[in-house]
Structure 1
Amino acid sequence: MDKLKLFILTESRKKTLPLLVSWKEKFYLAGGTGLALQIGHRDSVDFDFFSNNSFDPNIKIKELLKHFDQKSFSVTQIEKNTLSILLNSEIKISFMTYDYPLVKPLISSEYLNIASIPDIACMKLSTIMQRSALKDYVDLYEIMKIYNLEQLLSFSKKKYPTIDLAVILKSLSYLDDIVDEPLIYKDEKSKPSLDVLKKFFQNEVRRYFDKII
């Protein structure tokens, strides 16, 4: 792929990248940062790492101590197969087991393996079934400039065989309870308003139904 869009990261986050290489073979980056590094649409602040394998979070903490000073990070969440830390009081890094297959190969870069756009799209669609956060709809809006809704639903069925596509379509159609949040677009002129998002997804869902009926 083309070079990663590192301009979406703050300088402190860029400096963290070389320290993350130790987990490249065991974990892959996804979430908003994984997407933004590929398409460069907005700033993203969290590093969300996933693995198909189980892991002991206490062992992970010991590994982190080999790379980070103990005073530089605090543990914000720890449970089976899940660990979240806050580095230097500003950088959230999470590790979690995610036992679902990849629909496309990982994107390999110097310091990270990154989930493909189709895989991140599937995870975003799964997420909006449970919560209504602006960032997820904004990310899906940008993804759907590359893949249409029919393709994304096909990817989702492959990743999550038992997923209810009707619930996804309902979640895309109803944005009235969306939780607003500040998002920094690299080009503020192209930042979609909530009304634009609502009309876009409603039209896409309507177009999908027109095609299959």
Structure 2
Amino acid sequence: MAPVEDRRPSLDRPAVSRHAAALAGPLGASCDLSGYRLAGGTALAWALGHRRSDDLDFFTRVPGFLHPIEQDRIASVLRQLDTTARIDVSQPQTIHAVVRDCKVSFFGLGGRWLSDAVQLTEGFGLATTEEIAAMKLIAVSTRSARKDFFDLHALASRGHSAEAMFSSLRSMYPNEIDVDVGLHVARALTDFSDAELDPDPVLLERVTWSEAKRSAQHLASDLQRYLRDLQRSGFGRRSVPD
């Protein structure tokens, strides 16, 4: 009998750095990652191919899952993969490490995933583009990294609207996302003060920083318009400025 062909996609694509792609297989084979999904910049770059990304960010949404014993379990596997690995488990629900020259992080989050993960041959799941897009709104509102604005530009240029991204965010965090959160995100989308200090990421398509900023400004305007519509329908209490 002929072997069954594995039709799962691989993380090994041009948008994923050599170090990240090389580590992904051994990590997935050595560590049970069934409770986690790869998300963040590398997962989005894998899906869209718009820039190079070189780290592996895993997330769990099971409450309390990334507890100290779980941190120790993962840290032990990382040390087996690289005896010189640098590992930080000092923060609750968080692991930061550098393994075989690749940055690897694990985060315990609230909320919920929206659909099944994309399963990779490396042995772990990947968050969907819709989920990552919603997470990018949170990322840009908590830090102002230039790469996040390029990611948002790539999403917008492929048809992901502010309305769709914010709707996904509301679905991921039921009863937690209100007009105030939306207004904070809209303001963050037009605050480039910190991002101006960052270098451009390694881009795989021709986009300028000015174009990325314009996309963010359009997303902010569209989000404010959507928030006004939501408020008219009874969502949230705070008045959205015109």
Shorter chain as denominator, the TM-score bin is 0.7 to 0.9
Corresponding residue of 1:79 = 91
Task: Give the alignment's TM-score, normalised by structure 2.
Answer: 0.76
Q: Which runs of 4 or more aligned residues in structure 1 lie more than 4 Å from their structure 2 counterparts after TM superposition?
A: 1-5, 207-213
Using the TM superposition, name which of 99-108 and 148-157 deviates more.
99-108
1:17 aligns with 2:20: no
- The 1-side partners of 2:102 and 2:223 are apart by 39
Corresponding residue of 2:163 = 150
TM-superposed CA distance for 1:209, in Å, is 4.6
List aligned pairs for 1:1-213, cutoff 5 A: 6-21=13-28, 22-53=31-62, 54-55=65-66, 56=68, 57-65=71-79, 67-71=80-84, 73-88=85-100, 90-111=101-122, 112-144=124-156, 145-160=158-173, 161-163=175-177, 164-178=181-195, 179-187=197-205, 190-193=206-209, 195-209=210-224
User: After superposition, what is the alpha-carbon deviation per residue over 1:78-137, rounded to whole angstroms, capped at 9, x for unaligned?
Assistant: 33221111113x211111211220123211111131111111111111122121110111
- The 1-side partners of 2:147 and 2:55 are apart by 12
Equivalent AA in structure 2 for residue 124 of structure 1: K
What secondary structure is seen at the aligned counterpart in 1 of 2:203? coil
- The 2-side partners of 1:31 and 1:18 are apart by 18
Number of residue-to-residue matches in the alignment: 207
- The 1-side partners of 2:213 and 2:20 are apart by 32
Structure index of larger Rg: 2
- Cα RMSD of the aligned pairs, angstroms, is 2.3
- The 2-side partners of 1:131 and 1:165 are apart by 16
Q: Flag structure 1 segments of 5+ consecutive residues without an equivalent.
A: none
Q: Flag structure 2 segments of 5+ consecutive residues without an equivalent.
A: 1-7, 230-242
